[in-house]
Amino acid sequence: MKVRKLFSPKDGETPAGGTPVSEPISTGNFPKKDADFLTLAKAADTKWAATPALTLLWVDEPTFKTWVTSYDTGLAARLAVGSNRPSQTQTLAQVNKSIDTAVKDVKVYIEKKFKKANAAAQFSRYGIVQENKSYNLPKDNDKRKMALTLMKDAIAADGFGAEEFGTAFWTTTIASFNTALKTTTDTAKASVIK
């Protein structure tokens, strides 16, 4: 439902010193931003407390006050948790970039051992999948998490454990990836108002 803003000129009227208005200016009933909604809720709560004659059919003033307080607390907590999200996302992106760089070299190891013509048949053992026209680890973080375990196991099984991107690298990388993914996921879950 759209409501005409108070004091807006009607269609075709000219405000003092302005140009004629061709359409009425309208706005929704409730603010779209969380902070603005909280300000409105607090104002309504204050007005209701100051005017006890106001009554509503479905909620009383103390219950409404509890809702406003709960929303205020939840919004503050969500904003506090959410402010950490950019650094956590950046950490996950850096780990993913390191993984993508290592996969390029691992593909070279595979091509040297199994020959280039046979390499693509071996990639799935390493968790490497075809995306578009190239072979890489999956971009989806949940699938990537499973593929990293395959990578570590295949590296050891095919004798690449002592290489630069061998067992030690993948063990450390898997731990870093899992920590970064869990932190980012937990932050996303915690930033939702309940």
How far is it, in rounded angstroms, from Cα 25 to Cα 86? 37
For residue 11, name the pLDDT band (cuts at 50, 70, 90): low
DSSP annotation of 126? G
Predicted pLDDT at 36: 87
Among 28-32, 39-43, 63-67, 157-161, the minimum mean pLDDT is found in 28-32
Listed ranges 24-38, 49-63, 115-129, 178-192; the one with the highest mean pLDDT:
115-129
Predicted pLDDT at 193: 52
Contact 147, 114 (CB under 8 A): no
How far is it, in rounded angstroms, from Cα 24 to Cα 8? 7
Mean of per-residue pLDDT scores for the chain: 84
Q: 161 pLDDT exceeds 50?
A: yes
Q: Which two tokens stand for residue 112?
A: 């040297």
Please give the share of the chain, as a percent, with pLDDT higher than 90. Answer: 48
For residue 12, name the pLDDT band (cuts at 50, 70, 90): low
Q: Which two tokens stand for residue 163?
A: 């290489």
Q: Which residues lie across from 27 on neighbouring strands?
A: 3
Whole-angstrom Cα Rg for the chain: 29
Among 16-20, 104-108, 147-151, the minimum mean pLDDT is found in 16-20
Residues sharing a CB contact under 8 Å with residue 57, sequence separation 6 or more, in sequence order: none
| Positive or negative torsion for Cα 72, 77, 80, 83 | negative
Predicted pLDDT at 83: 74
For residue 4, name the pLDDT band (cuts at 50, 70, 90): very low
Residues sharing a CB contact under 8 Å with residue 185, sequence separation 6 or more, in sequence order: none
Q: Report which of residues 18 and 187 the model is more confident about.
A: 187
SS3 5: coil
For residue 76, name the pLDDT band (cuts at 50, 70, 90): confident
CA 47 to chain centre: 37
Q: 15 pLDDT exceeds 70?
A: no
How far is it, in rounded angstroms, from Cα 52 to Cα 67? 18
